[in-house]
Amino acid sequence: MPVFSRRRLQQMLDDLSACLDQEKARDLVQRLESKKVDQALPSEMELAILWAIANTGDIVVEPEWWGDNRRPDAVSETIVLGRQVAVEIAAATDNSISPEEAMDRVALSIVDFCNRLSKGTGDHLYFRFGEATKRIEGRSFRQVLAPSDCRLGEELGNSLTEWIRKDRFKSEKITLSESGLLVEVEWKKYRQIRYHNIWTSLPPQAYSLEENPLFALLRRKADQLRAAKIGTVRILVIADVGSTLLNRIDVAPLA
């Protein structure tokens, strides 16, 4: 869901037009118009923060004169009076810790296999993935049973083939299980939408204060400001565009 209305986004683009070169403006517009949420929402937040900085009175977007090719998103002389301020904007999501990508890959491989056996069958499948708990160095970790390198072996292929060829398979479910994989597959009467046809009870979560995607994001963004001159104020702006870690940071431990 968009954060801002289309009219508001256009107004911010218009207000910033004098500060954006053609390449940067084109990049922002392309990401704003993307159907991918992980492209559109971060670009909305970037545009809004650049617009807010510009309204303090001064902004240079991705300055060419920066000390190296790791240019900050913006430099301003008016955020902190009398000091140069370098700003780097980051958008935090759950994408890097969510099991969705791995589940989608498994689901796609099963959908493709079933469609080859019976045209259109795979497009009606819904997937519920199991989870397991493992221990590493004395600590418990939950993980979804959807291996990113999943390949349907002969045994699973035979099980799916037999299930699909049954006269009444559409009213049944099948559970596929092998090392690292546990998924219940169900045929639905209506066509399923990609990413809406996968489910697991495992929430996005991290198990370390430093070894987690949010910390890694901050570290990468801090590197963008490495060439700042002595005396420059460095600011990292973290925009929440769907981050469980940010939402839970003050209410529950990471592990």
**88 and 119, same structural domain?**
no
**73 and 150, same structural domain?**
no
CATH assignment at residue 51: 3.40.1350
Please check the confidence at residue 233 and state whether its pLDDT lies above 90.
yes
Q: How confident is the model at residue 156 (pLDDT cuts 50, 70, 90)?
A: very high
**178 and 229, same structural domain?**
no
Listed range (81-90, 169-178, 202-211) with the worst mean pLDDT? 202-211
Q: Where would I find the beta strands (DSSP E) of the chain? A: 60-61, 74-76, 85-92, 125-129, 131-136, 139-144, 173-178, 181-187, 198-200, 233-240
The amino acid that residue 97 corresponds to is: I
Query: What residues make up the domain containing 230?
Result: 6-95+209-248
Q: How confident is the model at residue 76 (pLDDT cuts 50, 70, 90)?
A: very high
For residue 15, what pLDDT is reported? 95
**82 and 130, same structural domain?**
no
**180 and 223, same structural domain?**
no
Residues 196-215: tens digit of each pLDDT: 899 988 776 666 666 677 78
**241 and 217, same structural domain?**
yes
φ/ψ of 254, rounded to 5, equals -70, -25
Tell me whether residue 108 is in a domain: yes
**218 and 159, same structural domain?**
no
What's the structural domain count of the chain?
A: 2
Q: How confident is the model at residue 255 (pLDDT cuts 50, 70, 90)?
A: very low
**25 and 89, same structural domain?**
yes
Tell me whether residue 253 is in a domain: no
Integer-rounded Cα Rg, in Å, for the chain is 24
Note whether 225 and 72 are within 8 A (CB): yes
What is the rounded CA–CA span in Å between residue 215 and residue 64? 28
For residue 150, what pLDDT is reported? 78
For residue 218, what pLDDT is reported? 87
**139 and 77, same structural domain?**
no
| Bigger pLDDT: 126 vs 166 | 126
**167 and 216, same structural domain?**
no
What is the rounded CA–CA span in Å between residue 187 and residue 172? 7
Q: Where is mean pLDDT largest: 96-105, 130-139, 159-168, 224-233? A: 224-233
**218 and 166, same structural domain?**
no
Tell me whether residue 255 is in a domain: no
For residue 87, what pLDDT is reported? 96
**135 and 54, same structural domain?**
no
Residue 103, Cβ neighbours under 10 Å: how many? 25
Tell me whether residue 191 is in a domain: yes
